[in-house]
Structure 1
Amino acid sequence: MGRFQPPHAAHVGSVQHALKHAPRVLVLVGSANLARSVHNPWSAPERTGMFRSALRDGGADVRRVTFRPLPDDFDAERWAAAVREQAAAVFGPAAALALGGFEKDASSAYLRWFPGWSRLNVPQTPGLNATDLRRVLFGGQALPAGVPAAVQAFLSAFVSTPAFARLQAEWQAVTVARAALPPGLHLTEERWLWRAGERVALHTRLGPIGRGLWELPGCQLPPGEQPRAGAEAVFAHPARSLVAPAAAHVFLGVPPPAFGFHSVPLATALARPRRFFEDHHVILTRLLGLD
């Protein structure tokens, strides 16, 4: 399981290593429900295509590799349950399963969330990090070694698209916003969820971060300001926000007049998770009991 943003030689090597020890390998391409952002620039089909081509170029038998998209619920238990369901659907409920990976950092804690599965330790490739590859790409620098040729070809074409131009502007804006915050600061948001019949109130972002995406009406509070009481729920997953850790206090009802919004058919909003900023589609579906 991974985001593979983008796939690189260490990811390819992990699957090649797994193919030496198992007849079939399942690759779950994570965050498949999230909009393009500097954290998740490429869709699940785009990442699958890059990954599959890189494996084929490396001599792997791609007929033995199954790719499946995996949404991000920003909830560890839900996410782990979805992984187990995917594995059972592909291999069968009684299959003997091994989870391949190596302990990179705290984000690798999920490797311990599947008791009963055996472990396949994958050799670590030093010096490769998808975060650094994104930084180089959006910074206009040459990609380093370790990016498979198929991935390089895709990225070379991608930099000429409008999507790349928007993401590069977002990268610069996120970098500036992070630099302006004191170290270790946790942000607070107030958001409103208002459903009127079969329509829901949404706001379209206009700034460079998340431009054009839908969000729940509301705002980020100034540092040190406390949210009002009465929130229906608080969403504070450490990976939910692009700029810095942020807790969203979500209220049910009509948003205050200061926050502009427009009415969107609920069916349209539910069907388009990748049109939403950060985790706002997850918040919408969870609070409406539709997840």
Structure 2
Amino acid sequence: MAATAVYIGRFQPPHHAHLATMQGALEHFGQLVILPGSANMARSIRNPWSASERAGLIRAALRETGLPVHRVSFSPLPDEFDAARWAARVRAAVPGGPVALVGFEKDASSAYLRWFPEWTVHPAPVWPGLNATDLRAAYFQGGRVEDVPRGVAGFLEAFRRTPAYVRLQAEWRAVQDARAALPAAPLHEERWVQVEGSHVWLSTRHGPIGQGLWELPGRVLPPGQEPMPGGELFAHPSRALVAPTTAHVWRGAAPDGVARPVPLATALQRPRRFHEDHHVILRRLLGPDLPPGASDPNGAGLHRTP
């Protein structure tokens, strides 16, 4: 049985190295499954575009180069901020049979290539100096974005004229300012999960970072301030936009009371309405207490799209 190639990435935005990797996979394997990551995350300077937008851009780029789009399928991959849960998501998204995981180990973010011992690894081409982090930095500073397919470049130019780009530019500046002001001290935040009946209490963010998004009530502590003892810890290094921050989360009402009730079913179905990983934290703390029939919105939307 021929192996299926699996390519995991955030593709924020898709660039020439991504496309070359896909082309190489299609030359060696009959089918390619692309898993656009961070599919459950709100628009931010780290994840500006939705999984469906990125899948559309990749399809267009494949067509531009004459690659067989009919042999490519997509499945959105949510962030879990937990290696075991994330790996389980990956396995669930991949059809049965032999699998070749496409990629190369460039840094700690590529460690996942070693998490699937039952699969082979197909090495991807190395493009020194080309990465999506630098492309986003140029883009939100108003510069040109090069080394992307023609259709991606057109999309990025059109996106500049949207309110979302204006908001993300402001977020970019605010994040850079916040990082520059941080001392070399661990950051902590305190959050509360208050669920009563069919409602969960949430706050709405008003500053430039995550403006308009829901968050669990609480606050980021001033640098050097220690949190209250106890609570459940969420400390994944990529969970916060500004800097690595450990969240200390308790059940119950937040002390300041600045939150409002939102239907729990609505909140659970709208992960991309939440700041950072707050939707993941909510689901994790509810666990077996999730309301009956509450479906998982993180696995819907792109499966098997030609």
TM-score range, shorter chain: over 0.9
Distance in 2 (CA, whole Å) between partners of 1:23 and 1:276 is: 38
State the AA in 2 paired with 1:124. Answer: V
Residue of structure 1 in register with 2:236 after alignment = 237
Residues 218 and 259 of structure 1 are in contact (CA less than 8 Å); yes or no, is this contact kept in structure 2? no
- Runs of 4+ aligned structure 1 residues displaced above 3 Å come to none
Instruction: Say which SS state the counterpart of residue 192 (structure 2) adopts.
Output: strand
Q: Do structure 1's residue 49 and structure 2's residue 56 form an aligned pair?
A: yes
Residue of structure 2 in register with 1:215 after alignment = 215
Residue of structure 2 in register with 1:141 after alignment = 143
Choose 222-231 or 235-244, whichever is displaced more: 222-231
- Deviation, 1:50, is 0.7
Residues 73-222 of structure 1 aligned to structure 2 (within 5 Å):
73-88=80-95, 92=96, 95-144=97-146, 146-183=147-184, 185-222=185-222
Aligned residues between the structures:
282
Residues 191 and 216 of structure 1 are in contact (CA less than 8 Å); yes or no, is this contact kept in structure 2? yes
Instruction: Say which SS state the counterpart of residue 127 (structure 1) adopts.
Output: coil
Residues 186 and 244 of structure 1 are in contact (CA less than 8 Å); yes or no, is this contact kept in structure 2? no
State the AA in 2 paired with 1:224. Answer: G
Q: Do structure 1's residue 8 and structure 2's residue 15 form an aligned pair?
A: yes
Normalization by structure 2: what TM-score?
A: 0.90
State the AA in 2 paired with 1:38. Answer: I
Distance in 1 (CA, whole Å) between partners of 2:239 and 2:208 is: 18
Distance in 2 (CA, whole Å) between partners of 1:138 and 1:8 is: 16
Residue of structure 1 in register with 2:299 after alignment = none
Distance in 2 (CA, whole Å) between partners of 1:134 and 1:191 is: 30
- Deviation, 1:182, is 2.3
State the AA in 2 paired with 1:161. Answer: T
Instruction: Say which SS state the counterpart of residue 247 (structure 1) adopts.
Output: strand
Distance in 1 (CA, whole Å) between partners of 2:126 and 2:45 is: 25
Distance in 2 (CA, whole Å) between partners of 1:288 and 1:19 is: 41
Residues 205 and 212 of structure 2 are in contact (CA less than 8 Å); yes or no, is this contact kept in structure 1? yes
- Superposed CA deviations along residues 84-110 of structure 1, whole A, max 9, x for unmatched, are 11113xxx2xx1111111111110000
Gaps of 5+ in 1: none
- Deviation, 1:263, is 0.7
Residue of structure 1 in register with 2:245 after alignment = 246
Residues 251-266 of structure 1 aligned to structure 2 (within 5 Å):
251-256=250-255, 258-266=256-264
- Percent identity reads 61
Gaps of 5+ in 2: 1-7, 291-295, 297-306
Alignment root-mean-square deviation, CA: 1.0
Instruction: Say which SS state the counterpart of residue 28 (structure 2) adopts.
Output: coil
State the AA in 1 paired with 2:139. Answer: L
State the AA in 1 paired with 2:278. Answer: H
Instruction: Say which SS state the counterpart of residue 133 (structure 1) adopts.
Output: helix
- Deviation, 1:230, is 2.9
Residue of structure 2 in register with 1:279 after alignment = 277
State the AA in 1 paired with 2:70. Answer: R
Normalization by structure 1: what TM-score?
A: 0.95
- Deviation, 1:65, is 0.7
Distance in 1 (CA, whole Å) between partners of 2:89 and 2:169 is: 32
State the AA in 1 paired with 2:156. Answer: L
- Deviation, 1:13, is 0.5
Residues 104 and 123 of structure 2 are in contact (CA less than 8 Å); yes or no, is this contact kept in structure 1? yes
Residue of structure 1 in register with 2:5 after alignment = none
Instruction: Say which SS state the counterpart of residue 202 (structure 1) adopts.
Output: strand
- Deviation, 1:254, is 1.2
- Deviation, 1:259, is 4.5
Residue of structure 1 in register with 2:43 after alignment = 36
State the AA in 1 paired with 2:238. Answer: A
Instruction: Say which SS state the counterpart of residue 267 (structure 2) adopts.
Output: helix
State the AA in 1 paired with 2:93. Answer: Q
